[in-house]
Structure 1
Amino acid sequence: MIPLPVAAWMWRRLRWGFVLIVGWIIVGTVGYLLIERWSWFDSLYMTIITVFTIGFEEVHPLTEGGRAWTLVVIAVGVMIVAAGASYLAADIASGELRRLWRESKLTQDLNRLRDHYIVCGLGRVGWQIVLQLRREECSFCTIEITDRHCDELEAWGIPHQVADATDEDALRRAGIERAQGLVAAADSDAVNLLVVVSARSLVPQLNIVARVEDPANEPKLLRVGANRVLSPTVRAGQRMSQMLTRPTVVEYLDTLLYREGESLPFGVEEVEIASTGTLNNRTVAEIDTEFPDSRGPTVLAIKPSGKDFILQPRGTQLLHSGDLLVAVGYPEELAQLADLCR
């Protein structure tokens, strides 16, 4: 099905050709009426098969005047059709039709997104974020001011805007009102700050993660609305030192969080307890009763709304609406735990 914007564009480009061809069919029909004294239908039929050079046999034998008029109808009709076809072919060759078709498809894809993530900036850090979100099969779209990585994203079916992420219209088009989170991963702290300001002004409750190059700018990004700020340089240094001093711990956490290649039989997830959830106002120990055929997932930590983490919670710890559970377990157990929390 041709997208509506593409159909509208084609109509705007070809409407005069359409008007001319219809007008010429009317003129040709009147010509046969006057010259050959045929009926309206016979005259119209003869004009159409002549203009479009179909080559059917004449409706009636033609007089000399009729044959002369047929030559005129053919010549003018072919010129009009050829002009329209060449006009359309020039637009197709210029890439205009393909560009419009891609934009229409992008708009449709973006409008379908719900509870997704928005990645702003596709430099080295931003591209790694894209690869990780894709591995985890998350729903997301990207905004990058240049056209880098466009071919890969299009091949993967990931909606991608070539636009300025600080532009509120670009953020709205990315469905920021329906998004679950946004990451500002541009190479510039100034750009990331503007992205955070724009996103926070549009959706006050949005979860925003920002990249920072200069650690001195971290407080500024937090003040303007970022929930989390990360310096790739600082974090890389911390991780490398931990690989030296705690290699087994780092390997274990990487196994849980950064799964590559084949899917692992277990993982770690976070789930929020809703007011309507089965686990609301129940204890941690009661989670096991919901898994009679297995041990069930292990709750590593609880983060009550607005409070610090409760690490290694006791079985008597009461769960409340708004609490976030961090649990490790098999995929089917984690999925069942998420259902119990909803």
Structure 2
Amino acid sequence: MRESLALKMRRFTISLVIFILIVLIGTLGYTMLEDWSLLESLFFTLVTLSTVGYNLPESITSGTQMFTIILILSGITVVVYSLSTLTSFIIEGEMKNALEARKRMKKINNMKNHYIVVGAGKTGFFVCQNMIKEKKDFILLDKSEEKIHQFIQEINEEITYIVGDAKNENALLDAGIERANSVILTLPSDVDNLFAALTVKSIAPDINIISKVNDPESVKKLSYAGINKIVLESEISGNRLAYMATRPNIVSFLETIIHTPEKDLQLEEVKIPENSWIADKTLKEIALPDKVDLIVIAVRKKDNKSIFNPKASTKIEKDDVIIVLGEDSKIMKLKEIINKEDEDYEVKNQ
């Protein structure tokens, strides 16, 4: 996209500069040769270039006639090309597309900690749908502009996108890879996901990469490429089908929480910041259920070990992640409480 936009803007700029330059040369030339005013010289230059056919002044010198011939010969071809380029740029929508692309790039440049979804296919559709539902900032990256527009029509939402190949460093830089939170690879080919992951890691070695995989034999190869989490589609589908058959009520409950847009309950993970007042306190001391009426399902420690159904004596430390179940409004309140730095917050709010 970067090269395409630059090429369009370059053609537009060159055409405009050539046209202005010829008009300027013609105007100054007639001013010097015939001692006309700038307005008269500009008028005669435009008449000459447009080949409207006004009669030449009777007192015109042979030098001016020669200058006019050169202006006509050099100007007609150049000006016709310039005008046709400008007309094409405007009529064919290239100007609109370029302005829209510039607007998208401005928005992307202001994004931080966002997600990059690679691939405008079926899997990418569901990923983007969930990102929209969760109100997360994300960018869709695919090399087919036609496929992206079709994708946007299907999802029926305005989304930020980049037209480019994920195996191309420029496309990833356009998507703000150096400021992104995670990259989600949903390309249909395991090989494409592999090369995309290698390109991502060459630019941002520490970024989190999540990839789908079709062939179980490709799992190890993708792991070697530095992908943090790999989702085997056949395994996910098989487990889901089995659970729907053997534990339908559990599946129904989880789907209600995760997939229903107007759900009352939702699962959420909240990271404990370093300066939070609840750091180094036990769940009993914090008393989250009393403050926000939420259920603490688990605590994910810094060493990636999880404590399920934590006891009141479980200590919460900075950078821990607590997984809670509750209403959206109460989860928002929880985030506000956790981000408080004042150690006397509990006393002040009793």
TM-score when scaled to structure 1? 0.80
Aligned to 1:65, what secondary structure does the other structure show? coil
* Cα separation, 2, equivalents of 1:149 and 1:122: 6
Is 2:268 aligned against 1:272? no
Aligned counterparts of 1:122 and 1:30: Cα–Cα separation in 2: 61
How far 1:91 sits from its partner (Å)? 4.0
1:308 aligns with one of 285, 305, 325: 305
Whole-angstrom distance in 1 between the partners of 2:90 and 2:134: 38
Name the counterpart of 1:299.
296
SS in 2 for 1:149: helix
Distance 1:182 1:317 in 2: 33
User: How far apart, in 1, do the equivalents of 2:273 and 2:18 lie?
Assistant: 60
Give the superposition deviation at 1:117. 0.6
For 2:51, the equivalent position in structure 1 comes to: none
**Does the CA-based 8 Å contact 1:153-1:160 persist in structure 2?**
no
Matches within 5 A, 1:7-156: 9-33=11-35, 43-51=37-45, 64-65=58-59, 84-93=82-91, 96-147=94-145, 148-153=147-152, 156=157
Measure the CA separation in 2 of the matches of 1:255 and 1:290.
22
Partner of 2:336: 339
**CA–CA distance in structure 2, aligned partners of residues 180 and 277 of structure 1:** 22
> How do 1:166-315 and structure 2 match up within 5 A?
166-260=167-261, 263-288=262-287, 292=291, 295-315=292-312
For structure 2, the residue ranges without an aligned partner over 5 or more in a row are 48-55, 340-350
Does the residue aligned with 2:59 lie in a helix, a strand or coil? helix
Report the equivalent of 1:36.
Answer: none
Q: Does the Cα contact within 8 Å between 1:150 and 1:160 map onto a contact in 2?
A: no
With over 3 angstroms needed to count, the CA separation of the structure-2 counterparts of 1:206 and 1:48, relative to structure 1, is same
> Which stretch of the first structure deviates more once superposed, 83-92 or 249-258?
83-92
The alignment partner of 2:282 has SS state of: coil
Alpha-carbon separation, structure 2, partners of 1:103 and 1:298: 45
Q: Is the 1:145–1:163 Cα contact (8 Å) retained in structure 2?
A: yes
CA shift, 1:213, in A, is 0.7
Superposed displacement of residue 64, structure 1:
4.5
Q: Work out the percentage of aligned pairs sharing the same amino acid.
A: 24
Structure 1: runs of 5+ lacking an equivalent? 34-39, 54-61
**Structure 1 position 119, deviation (Å):** 0.9
Question: What's the offset of the Cα at 1:31?
Answer: 4.4
Are positions 1:323 and 2:320 aligned together? Answer: yes
Alignment partner of 1:334: what SS? helix
- State the Cα deviation string for residues 70-105 of structure 1 (Å, max 9, x = none): 9x98x96x9686664334213445665455444433
Q: What TM-score, normalized by structure 2, do the two folds share?
A: 0.78
CA distance change for structure 1 residues 339 and 49 in 2, over 3 Å: closer, same or farther? Answer: same
CA contact 2:27–2:38 (8 Å) conserved in 1 = yes
RMSD: 3.3
Matched letter for residue 175 of structure 1: G
Partners of 2:223 and 2:163 lie apart in 1 by 27
Helix, strand or coil at the partner of 1:325: strand
Q: Distance in 1 between matches of 2:169 and 2:9?
A: 28
* SS class of match (1:301): strand
The CA deviation string for residues 287-339 of structure 1, in whole angstroms up to 9 with x for no partner, is 336965xx422211001012421001111211001111111122222122223
Aligned length: 317
Instruction: Say whether the 8 Å CA contact 2:113–2:179 is kept in structure 1.
Output: yes
Change (3 A) 1:318 1:29: same
1:153/1:197 Cα in 2 relative to 1: closer, same or farther (>3 Å)?
same
Shift of 1:254: 1.1
Cα 1:98/1:163, change in 2 over 3 Å: same
Q: Secondary structure at the match of 1:110?
A: helix
